[in-house]
Structure 1
Amino acid sequence: MKNKNTHYIVFCTVFVCGIVASLMPWELSPLWVFSLLALGLSFYTKKFLLNYYAILESINKRIEIDELTGLFSRYQIQQELNQLIVTSHAQDKKLAALVLDLDHFKTINDAFGHKIGDKLLVNVAQRLMSVCPKQAVVGYLGGDAFLVLLALDHDQDKPYLVTLSKNVIDHVSQSYLVDELTLNIGCSIGVAVYPEFGLDAATLMKNADMAVYRAKSAGRATYYFYDGEMGRQFARNVRIETRLRQALRNESLEVHFQPKVDLLTERCVGMEALLRWNDDELGCVSPAEFIPIAEQTGIILPLGEWVFEQTFRHILEWQEQGIIVPPIAINCSAAQLKRSDFLTKLVALLEKYQIDPSLLEVEVTESILIEDATICAELLNEMSQIGIRLAIDDFGTGYSSLSYLKDLPFHYVKIDQVFIRDIVHDKSHAALTNAIISLSHSLHLKVIAEGITSLEQLALLREYGCDIGQGYLFSKALGADSLASDPMIVALNQQAL
């Protein structure tokens, strides 16, 4: 099988034997010569076929079984799924597909190398086989993903799968000893059930994949069952992503500006730039819906740069019209701040539009401070040194470490509207708001309350000593063209005169 010249050898052998037979004396019959030739060729052919079938069996085994984990390969597990669907249909039974995805496996690969990562996968595969029911079919999909197939009896339903999922997560998430290293890793599970949520293998696996993605989004180390609503939401998210990319290319998004008001004088002391999107197909899409999608897909990076540039462009236009505007706050995502060239690009834009850095206020959330505190601290200090003012956004909804306020160069603390919404009727929210304001003032920081919608909220915030507020009670977010006619901006310009 390995000799590519086999057919030439056979041809030459027969040809030479024919010549020898023709030259033999008549007393030696050609029948004997060709009989010996037939025996030789028969032996060679048998040996050839034995090698051929051995190699074919080896190839088939490699296709069916994953060499690393010893589980069914991606190809074979899909074949098994196809067969189980046929059997389940014939027996009128349900079939569960569980996609198991390891949490933070890339971190172990990056820290200890792929050799350790591969050994960990082998251990995970063994532990998965030990915890799954005997009738389960287990395969390795590649990367850090596994697939478990389980034909369900009539008395086995969702509670049974919930218990199984919990057991798998508990067992897989226990410590592993690999080359004298103690490794800890978790897993998330997505479940899709035939025939309710997939009549074929491709659909069932796709839906289980969606479910495991939802489990990871929910905090990892958990399970999630696919349902119809998830499919509809996923389809909408995909559509939003596609249309958002197109809107960014066509510059069909808008930046609106909401005034921030001194709670004592009720004069405008700043504005916040807010992104607005009214799509021809999707209609008005809320930032609460499209911003998370932008962050998940990476669109947030060009989108964030676009918001900065559009804001600076509007500031320049207002200045050319003789309109005085207060400092404008722009919210920065964690992905933007993690870019090594973030500040370089920001300074370049300020210089391009000749914008005084004191007119810019950057809002950051607490989560970025937890993820990379050292680098973030350096960046914030550099921004503060060139005159950019800084605010910690949504304070009280994240980790709320006091060291952020004490050690980092923030100018403002912004209380999330979740607290403001219920501040009048919820004593705990009122107490927390009051405490945040007192703490911030003791550290010489001003406090901004967002989402103020009623006079009762305003009165209570004044009583607590809150400095600045924004919300519909004062003004909605205004388009750039209508800003000049807003009473607060008019009053600000009259005061300047």
Structure 2
Amino acid sequence: MKNKHTHTIVFCTVFACGVVASLMPWEFSSLWVFSFLALVLSFYTKKFLSNYDAVLDSVNKRIETDELTGLFSRYQIQQELNQLILSCHAQDKKLAACVLDLDHFKTINDAFGHEVGDKLLASVAQRLVFVCPPKAVIGYLGGDAFLVLLVLDSDQDKPYLVSLSKRVIDHVSQSYYVEALTLNIGCSIGVAVYPEFGLDAATLMKNADMAVYRAKSAGRATYYFYDGEMGRQFARNVRIETRLRQALQNESLEMHFQPKVDLMTERCVGMEALLRWNDAELGCVSPAEFIPIAEQTGVILPLGEWVFEQTFRHILEWQKQGIAVPPIAINCSAAQLKRADFLMKLLALLEKYQIDPSLLEVEVTESILIEDATICAELLNEMSHLGIKLAIDDFGTGYSSLSYLKDLPFHYVKIDQVFIRNIVNDKSHAALTNAIISLSHSLNLKVIAEGITSLEQLALLREYGCDIGQGYLFSKALGADSLASDPMIVALNEQAL
């Protein structure tokens, strides 16, 4: 390292030589003094430059190489990518940029600490070097992400990259032995190919990131290749998120309510609150499109609160108009139920609008029960004790553990419309629907069938003993203002009189 006193030593040496030269007899040549001075300065300059070069080499090495993994650093791998793009452009070759992202790495970090996590990353890096072709350029991007760059030969195309991706996933996903622990971790891979899907480093990396995100959304431990449609869909998703946030702030969303009927009497016994969005730029956006985006981006939390409050506000307005309001079901996302203050906020809204809890039904999907069954069970029991009715939504399309029906305080089971849609022509769907209804009844649960559109479907569901149904056969979802004039609601109020 550079001596921090070098400049002082040089100054003192030069000063001392000058003093000596001034005291020497005239017959003594000053040439000897300054020759000595030149030698001293040359020695210290050489030593300084040698130390400087060593420090510079060390800094450059740290910049170029990641100390943890031994791979190229994030900075250097991006420089390598830029150079490879220039080379491929000159040689008319293709370049594959493969982003590898570890699955559930945070879980290991949280459970065993960052030291174990760092050692696991180092082991993953070693396996990547082993399994990738010798000509591959490999770098560590930080976190749990790696980048593999591969210039493709003329005979290497998508099938080759598919085979390589599968091989990498297989090797990386094998067990690791770290700090006396046996750890298992998977990975997802996103691939973008130059020049078709990115002419510069930034675009290529962005598209590869987009592809790995799609791979994770598809269930993880898999690979995905970026294509043009993915880019267009991603751009639309970003636009939907932006416009949805604005719609929430401007309260330009609408609540509609679809009647639920007793299948034997065809009288209205409840309604389901449904969110509708007609945007000035995007047009009518289906909940099937914008709800998943809201869940991925966190917008679902303020959106869910808005739905509860708007529903309660409408109930209060109807009651003031003298309209008999049946129980209203509201879909509740997993993100909402996971919030520690969910029940507190719900009770605050019920109190604010003076709504009887018996007028509220909460529908939950099976996924939340899998993710955090213990906490979810406590919450559902508290809600049930308050008089809120509970329904398990889309039953049969998820994990469908029978213990949910046996151990949790549900009142209703909703059969997904995917079964009802084909119940007449598909014997397996009919058999499954019949089995779900029989099982639910044996556990003292009522069954709701959604998506009923024909008399044939209605007849079969009646034959199977289904209790409640909803669908276009009975009524479409109604705006809050037109609800009072709906024949079913009119009949409900006449019956109440």
Bucket of the pairwise TM-score, normalised by the shorter protein: over 0.9
Q: After superposition, where does 1:449-460 map in structure 2 within 5 Å?
A: 449-460=449-460
Letter in 2 for 1:140: Y
CA distance in 1, matches of 2:480, 2:150: 58
CA distance in 2, matches of 1:242, 1:7: 59
Question: 1:20 Cα deviation (Å)?
Answer: 2.7
CA distance in 1, matches of 2:199, 2:191: 14
Letter in 2 for 1:30: S
Answering whether residue 171 of structure 2 is matched by residue 171 of structure 1, we say yes
Partner of 1:108: 108
Answering whether residue 216 of structure 2 is matched by residue 207 of structure 1, we say no
Give the conservation status (yes or no) of the 8 Å contact 2:136–2:150: yes
Residue deviations 1:325-366 (CA, integer Å, cap 9, x gap): 100000000000011111011001100100000000000001
Partner of 1:496: 496
Give the conservation status (yes or no) of the 8 Å contact 2:255–2:479: yes
Partner of 1:448: 448
Question: 1:23 Cα deviation (Å)?
Answer: 2.4
CA distance in 2, matches of 1:140, 1:387: 54
Give the conservation status (yes or no) of the 8 Å contact 2:423–2:430: yes
CA distance in 2, matches of 1:10, 1:310: 80
Partner of 1:119: 119
SS in 2 for 1:220: coil
Letter in 1 for 2:308: F
Partner of 1:399: 399
Answering whether residue 21 of structure 2 is matched by residue 40 of structure 1, we say no
Partner of 1:412: 412
CA distance in 2, matches of 1:486, 1:204: 55
Tell which deviates more after alignment, 1-10 or 424-433.
1-10
CA distance in 1, matches of 2:477, 2:15: 94
SS in 1 for 2:414: strand
SS in 1 for 2:472: coil
Question: 1:28 Cα deviation (Å)?
Answer: 1.9
Which runs of 4 or more aligned residues in structure 1 lie more than 6 Å from their structure 2 counterparts after TM superposition? none
Partner of 1:336: 336
Question: 1:16 Cα deviation (Å)?
Answer: 3.5
Residue deviations 1:273-327 (CA, integer Å, cap 9, x gap): 0001111111110000000000000110110001000000110111111111100
Residue deviations 1:368-403 (CA, integer Å, cap 9, x gap): 111111111000000000000000000000111111
Answering whether residue 244 of structure 2 is matched by residue 244 of structure 1, we say yes
CA distance in 2, matches of 1:48, 1:24: 31
Partner of 2:296: 296
SS in 1 for 2:469: strand
Letter in 1 for 2:335: A
SS in 1 for 2:41: helix
CA distance in 2, matches of 1:142, 1:131: 20
Unaligned 5+ segments in structure 2 are none
Partner of 2:276: 276
Answering whether residue 287 of structure 2 is matched by residue 287 of structure 1, we say yes
CA distance in 1, matches of 2:181, 2:400: 34
CA distance in 2, matches of 1:17, 1:263: 111
CA distance in 2, matches of 1:475, 1:12: 99
Residue deviations 1:446-477 (CA, integer Å, cap 9, x gap): 10000011111111111111110001111111
> What TM-score do you get using the length of structure 1 for normalisation?
0.99
CA distance in 2, matches of 1:389, 1:4: 76
> What TM-score do you get using the length of structure 2 for normalisation?
0.99
Partner of 1:79: 79
Partner of 2:52: 52
Alpha-carbon RMSD across the aligned residues, in angstroms, is: 0.9
Residue deviations 1:238-281 (CA, integer Å, cap 9, x gap): 00111111111111111110000111111100000000111111
CA distance in 2, matches of 1:262, 1:146: 56
Residue deviations 1:117-141 (CA, integer Å, cap 9, x gap): 0000000000010000001001000
SS in 2 for 1:190: strand
Question: 1:11 Cα deviation (Å)?
Answer: 3.5
Partner of 1:371: 371
Q: After superposition, where does 1:120-135 map in structure 2 within 5 Å?
A: 120-135=120-135
SS in 2 for 1:284: strand
Question: 1:10 Cα deviation (Å)?
Answer: 2.9
Partner of 2:226: 226
CA distance in 2, matches of 1:334, 1:237: 21
Give the conservation status (yes or no) of the 8 Å contact 2:259–2:271: yes
CA distance in 2, matches of 1:182, 1:13: 63
CA distance in 2, matches of 1:133, 1:278: 51
CA distance in 2, matches of 1:43, 1:422: 91
Question: 1:5 Cα deviation (Å)?
Answer: 5.1
CA distance in 1, matches of 2:287, 2:5: 69
CA distance in 2, matches of 1:359, 1:349: 13
Question: 1:13 Cα deviation (Å)?
Answer: 3.1
CA distance in 1, matches of 2:478, 2:2: 77
Letter in 1 for 2:29: S
Question: 1:29 Cα deviation (Å)?
Answer: 1.4
CA distance in 1, matches of 2:82, 2:309: 53
CA distance in 2, matches of 1:72, 1:193: 20
CA distance in 1, matches of 2:75, 2:225: 24
CA distance in 2, matches of 1:87, 1:447: 64
Partner of 1:149: 149
Count of aligned residue pairs for this structure pair: 497
Give the conservation status (yes or no) of the 8 Å contact 2:245–2:299: yes
CA distance in 2, matches of 1:305, 1:92: 55
Residue deviations 1:41-89 (CA, integer Å, cap 9, x gap): 1000000000000000000000000000000001111111111111111
Give the conservation status (yes or no) of the 8 Å contact 2:406–2:443: yes
Partner of 1:481: 481
